[in-house]
Amino acid sequence: MNEAEPRPTSLAVHPGWRVALPTVVLTLAVILVLFRDTALGMLSIWERSDTYAHGFIVPPISLWLIWRMRASLAALAPRHSYAAVVLVAVAGFAWLLGQLATVNVVSQFALVAMVVASVPAVLGWHFARRITFPLLFLFFAVPFGDFALPTLMDWTARFTVIGLRFTGIPVHSEGLRFVIPTGSWSVVEACSGVRYLIASVTVGTLFAYLTYRSLKRRLAFILVSFLVPILANWVRAYMIVMIGHLSGNKLAVGVDHLIYGWVFFGIVILAMFWIGARWREDEVEPVVAQAPRMAATTLTATAPSLAAAVLTVLVGGGCTLALAKIEQGLAPAATQLARLGQISGWTPSAPVGEQWQPNFRNYAASTQASFEKDGRTVGIFLAYYRNQNQEQKLISSTNALVRSDDPMWARVASGTRDISFGQQQLKIRTALLNGPAAMRLAVWTWYWIDGRWTASDALAKAYTALSMLTRQVDDSAVIVLYTPEENAGEGDTVLADFARAAGPVIDNALQQTKGGG
């Protein structure tokens, strides 16, 4: 990687840049226009989310890092690379899969990968290697990290409870909620520390590149910038609960809750950078190579780079055309889910769980019903999705059994188990919910994707992309079964009995909905 350049009095510019520079700029501009929906989607997330607002400054930082190296870069002879065009094609196919499976982050990473690969395609690998870090830094612009929210929230809750008990404060905890003598607390998304983590890793990576020369020190500081915010967030959460407890819930329970958090985080990060700067490695000013004397560049000399640029644009255009072609063959919207037939041994009953409903939204059709057998009641919820897009899709960060800030219901346990369903073995997700009036619900969840069963988000997305590629179908559904959990393990027994009886009925209803257009 290249370091900062001294400010030269005059740049030794290779004549090939007269054509290469406008060519690469135009190529990148065309790619962004072709994939503007994905680019604008990233922009909208930067605007509405404080967690990803740093995306606005990532491209300018990358350009500034390249500008610092302009003296040595200008002396390089631009060369094309058809191999990089192949990488653009691979990234374009990944973008297509992301669009078909409605996975924003895949499409966004693929778009950035196309931008990055376009540079060596037009200017050559020798040039791209000199600006490796500025190019790779662009990936920090992708809004990525929501997947870690549940894990970070769980870690924060566990550490806080451990810290309180170590301090001698009695705690009763279930899931993300816990009660101490002075009040009740819960860990929500804002408490996860994902904002601190993303901000720390982004800034820490840039700091490591600018401060150190050796790869070992750079990687070590990046690791520190990853671990420190996680540990700091645990301490922050514990301190906020302690401040509230010791002040009689007069402090750290409102807006000052967030203020204390950011102040503490700022102090920790500044300390991390201050300590890291003690081992900085001074820059070594490189010798600027002189460009060879040669005649003005002709179109013939730069024709391969122009051809590579044209191929890059054609690859991008082909991906967008393929998506449009596939979307033209989609089935009409589904407006109603086929009626559930009679389930052997079970009869319709009153609603279960005080009409609890999973937090799935923007579906094409849904149904919810309850059934009774031998005094035990089971509820079923089906949500059907067709012609999915970024706003209306089965698997998203907003679709869940219970919202983290739900005032009535809370998930207190989760896991998986194997069941026999529809004459096949299936691994499903299990959960235990706490509700009003000390009610508990045992819940089972899995997906139906164009006739395939799975409980895995990743497999569900893969099945969706495969169905779209091969048959232009994205019909999908979520199946949720639930029953009151009065004794440990009793709910699972009841749900297993119901699932065996209801399997063919559920499959038939979903197949009828799909066939009915």
Closest to 421 (Cα-Cα) out of 451, 443, 453: 453
Residue with tokens 């139906």: 448
**pLDDT tier at 251, thresholds 50, 70, 90:** low
Distance separating alpha carbons of residues 241 and 160, to the nearest angstrom: 8
Over residues 398-404, the mean pLDDT reads 85
Of the two residues 476 and 256, the one the predictor is more confident about is 476
Distance separating alpha carbons of residues 187 and 236, to the nearest angstrom: 12
C-beta of residue 382 within 8 angstroms of C-beta of residue 477? yes
Q: What is the pLDDT of residue 285?
A: 53
Over residues 131-158, the mean pLDDT reads 90
C-beta of residue 127 within 8 angstroms of C-beta of residue 143? no
Over residues 55-63, the mean pLDDT reads 95
Residue with tokens 């690859």: 315
**pLDDT tier at 297, thresholds 50, 70, 90:** very low
Does the structure show a pLDDT above 60 at 256? no
Q: What is the pLDDT of residue 284?
A: 57
Give 294's DSSP letter: -
Over residues 459-479, the mean pLDDT reads 90
**pLDDT tier at 298, thresholds 50, 70, 90:** very low
Task: Name the amino acid, one letter, at 227.
Answer: L
Q: Could you tell me which residues come within 8 angstroms of residue 230 by beta carbon, excluding any fewer than 6 positions away?
A: 152, 155, 193, 197
Residue with tokens 């897009």: 389
Does the structure show a pLDDT above 90 at 75? no
Distance separating alpha carbons of residues 511 and 337, to the nearest angstrom: 10
pLDDT tens for 327-337 read: 887 777 777 88
- In this structure, is the dihedral angle defined by the CA atoms of residues 466, 469, 470 and 476, taken in order, positive or negative? positive
Over residues 242-261, the mean pLDDT reads 68
Over residues 166-188, the mean pLDDT reads 83
Distance separating alpha carbons of residues 261 and 246, to the nearest angstrom: 17
Residue 190 CA neighbour count, 13 Å, CB half: 11
CA angle 230, 136, 7 (to 5 degrees): 110
C-beta of residue 102 within 8 angstroms of C-beta of residue 388? yes
Closest to 399 (Cα-Cα) out of 366, 353, 377: 366
Q: Measured in Å, how far apart are the chain's first and last C-alpha atoms?
A: 56
**pLDDT tier at 354, thresholds 50, 70, 90:** low
C-beta of residue 380 within 8 angstroms of C-beta of residue 346? no
With H, G, I as helix, E, B as strand and everything else as coil, classify residue 314.
helix
C-beta of residue 58 within 8 angstroms of C-beta of residue 138? yes
**pTM, full prediction:** 0.85
For residue 486, what are its two tokens?
């009065």
pLDDT tens for 259-278 read: 666 777 778 888 888 888 88
3-state secondary structure 343-388: CCCCEECCCCCCCCCCECCCCCEEEEEEEEECCEEEEEEEEEECCC
